[in-house]
Homo-oligomer: A and B are copies of this chain.
């Protein structure tokens, strides 16, 4: 397995931010983590509010920590709120269970890392994540479906 390298991670984060700029949504923060959950590239666009990098990191880290994309995490958080409350007390809020956290897989389906995006609506955040992963020729897993 070839792990996610810094250049790819930086390009994915930078691409997501530029998609937001070009499509006129709110400025974003983006975190790209390796498969172990550790950051490779965290970028915050100038106008993005200051909690966004932490939220973006939490979206990505929650996906990797639990093994699901953000939409599956959101479903589980709705079905089992006490479980997710406990996890967040346990981890200091590392699991942010909403759309905008997306696993990054290679063509064979192996998890290379994850991206978390925060700044606009969860749906818009996720759209930027999916497009940025596609432009890197990798496979996105948002918890609903694989896309590339």
Contacts and interface: CB of A to CB of B under 8 A. Distances in A.
Interface of A: 3, 5-6, 10, 14, 17, 26, 34-46, 48-51, 53-55, 58, 62, 64-67, 74, 77-78, 80-98
A66 B38 CA distance: 13
A6 B58 contact: no
Number of copies: 4
5 contacts: A3-B46, A34-B46, A36-B37, A42-B53, A86-B88
A87 B55 contact: yes
A66 B89 contact: no
Contact of A88 (B36, B39, B50, B89): B89
A85 B83 contact: no
